[in-house]
Every structure is written in structure tokens, then in C-alpha cells.
Amino acid sequence: VGILIAMVLVYGSVRSSIVAIGRNPLAKRTIQSSMLKVIGIAIIVLITSLGTVYMILKG
């Protein structure tokens, strides 16, 4: 579930960022920083879910 959530976050972020840069090239820096924040959140979700799975399997 965590991997799916991370994939959806990254896909949505990249897709909307490309569209936004196409509409307003001058806002490229702001859009890229927002995209990096979303990717960071996706990484946190992925690490948290992997840690939870490890704890459950370890037992």
C-alpha cells in the first residue's frame, strides 16, 4: 500500500509539474521546488511503510 501511495504521489507531481512549466515557464523554480517537496513526502511514506512491514515480519 505504501509503495502504491508513493508511486501515485510521484506520478501526479511529475505530470502536473510538466503541465505547469509548459503553461508558465517563468515559474520553473517554484514548480521544481514544489515537486521536490512532494517527492520528499513520497520517500518518507515509502520508508515508513517499509519500516512498518519490517516490524510486523520481525515480530
Looking at residues 39-58, what average pLDDT do you find? 94
pLDDT > 90 fraction of the chain, expressed in percent and rounded:
88
**Amino acid identity for residue 37 in this structure:** K
| Distance between CA atoms of residues 23 and 2, nearest Å | 32
Dihedral of CA atoms 29, 30, 32, 35 in degrees, nearest 10, equals: 170
- Measure CA 8 to chain center: 7
| Distance between CA atoms of residues 22 and 28, nearest Å | 9
Domain coordinates in residue numbering, the chain: 2-58
Whole-model pTM: value is: 0.79
pLDDT at res. 1: 84
| Distance between CA atoms of residues 43 and 28, nearest Å | 22
Chain segment 22-40, per-residue pLDDT in tens: 999 999 999 999 999 999 9
